[in-house]
Amino acid sequence: MKAMIATMAFFLLATSVAAQEVDSEHARKTLEIYTTIIGMETSKGLGNVPIMAEYLAGELIAAGLPEEDVEVVPVDDTAVLIARYRGNGTSGKAPILLLAHMDVVEAYAEDWQRPPFELTRDDTYFYGRGTKDNKFGVAQITSTFIRLLKEDWVPNRDLIIVFTGDEESSMVSTRLVAYNRPDLAEAEFALNSDAGGGTLTVDGDAVAYRIQIAEKTYVTWELTVRNPGGHSSRPRPDNAIYELAHAITAIQNYRFPVQWTDTTLEYFEVTGQQLGGELGDAMLRFAANPEDIEATDRLAVEPSYVGTTRTTCVVTMLRAGHAENALPQSATATVNCRIFPGVPVAEVLQSLEDAIGNDDVVFEEIYPGTVSPISELREDIRAAVSEAVQERYPGVPMLGYMESGGTDGMHFRNAGIPTWGVSGVFMNPDDNYAHGLNERVPIKTFYGALDHWTIMLKDLAGD
């Protein structure tokens, strides 16, 4: 029934799209896959990721991949999809891994303006949870394999899809395939669809294309205040919720020191020149002098750029109290930090404790930090990505950058596999609602990316 509904939704959507948008078999298949998987609620704990993995496996097998080369690996209530597109070996080179994740962050229909687990559209955007993060990458890579199989194209080395099932939560499936699969460990490098991509202005002009070469350390703490509590009719001076509230305010007001690398400075110099205006001027001033207070303050209020300039910590969840007529016996806040490369986790913890200044606030690390090395950008990677990107936006600058978020790439880098983020997405940073309400991707971006992976793979694995 779900498959029938998804198929009907695809055809209804397709008939509403301009003819030039769906005038190829590849475009139609990509949209069909995209529509179907957006319709699958693959949030944590629902057990739907294996269903999505089996669907994608079926599509790849139907297109010509041998069944023995397509594997759905169960991992608790989620799964990993591994699909090997065998090459002829003429290059003598090790395989290339193609990364994406099938799970998505939770989305509650009552909060959204549109149904989160149904692909909808207006004249400009596709809407739905995962439209960008990261079912865009899943659909584009899967349909590219199907396209190349139907062309009877044979790469000169193996290409291996690795779609994980819990990147947005525990990354257990990511760790499994990154550290415990010798067949994947032999890969020369990985290309990650969940990072990188192009930046557009409000008017749709290309500012730069960013290749992710590194990412910040991801770590999460729970901060808890405990108290004997009591009856709510007998308030006491110490209150767990009030003490925690003061700690939260201290975190909100604390700014970690500004930091930078040569890659960061190059990124802001090029982006500032292309972007222009007040924000572009701040970027240029930062690139010229990263200790310029006015420039760093201006960048600090930009969600899309603040993570590039410093460590950030933010409160993301709260729980407190046990009854409406009782004083709280405990109050807990979840604090998620994205730590600038090279900064020890212990140093960040000490900074938070010092900012709060209350020994009654107890820290417990619930998601340990994963520090991954930088993947220095190779010329062959830059050239292949540039060929794909320049076809869409001729002359757009190509830049390496550090991701302020966290991706599967951190574990593959730690496993000794250089990993670069090379998403086919081009969009204005202000349109990036990934993890938030009403996630969306420009329709032009979706269709513009149809050749992105084909061009790169033929460049890197073609005779």
What tens digit of pLDDT does each residue of 129-155 get? 999 999 999 999 999 999 999 999 999
The reply to whether 142 falls in a domain is yes
**How confident is the model over 296-320, as a mean pLDDT?**
94
Residue 43 and residue 106: Cα distance in Å, rounded? 5
CATH of residue 161's domain is 3.40.630.10
The reply to whether 314 falls in a domain is yes
445 and 348 fall within a common domain: no
Residue 406 and residue 214: Cα distance in Å, rounded? 10
Domain end among 317, 344, 370: 370
115 vs 13 pLDDT, higher one? 115
Number of structural domains, the chain?
2
The reply to whether 47 falls in a domain is yes
50 and 189 fall within a common domain: yes
Domain end among 370, 393, 419: 370
128 vs 4 pLDDT, higher one? 128
The single-letter code of the amino acid at 44 is K
127 and 264 fall within a common domain: no
Q: Residue 21 — very low, low, confident or very high, per pLDDT cuts 50/70/90?
A: low
Work out the mean pLDDT of the chain and round it to a whole number: 93
Q: Which domain holds residue 62?
A: 2-195+407-461
The reply to whether 397 falls in a domain is no
The reply to whether 258 falls in a domain is yes
CA 117 from centroid of its chain's CA atoms: 18
| Cβ within 8 Å of residue 58, ≥6 positions away | none
184 and 221 fall within a common domain: no
31 and 84 fall within a common domain: yes
The reply to whether 428 falls in a domain is yes
CA angle 300, 304, 308 (to 5 degrees): 65
The reply to whether 209 falls in a domain is no
Question: What is the model's pLDDT at position 22?
Answer: 60
Residue 354 and residue 348: Cα distance in Å, rounded? 10
189 and 237 fall within a common domain: no
Query: Quick check: 316 pLDDT over 50?
Result: yes
Query: Quick check: 10 pLDDT over 50?
Result: no
The reply to whether 204 falls in a domain is no
CATH of residue 298's domain is 3.30.70.360
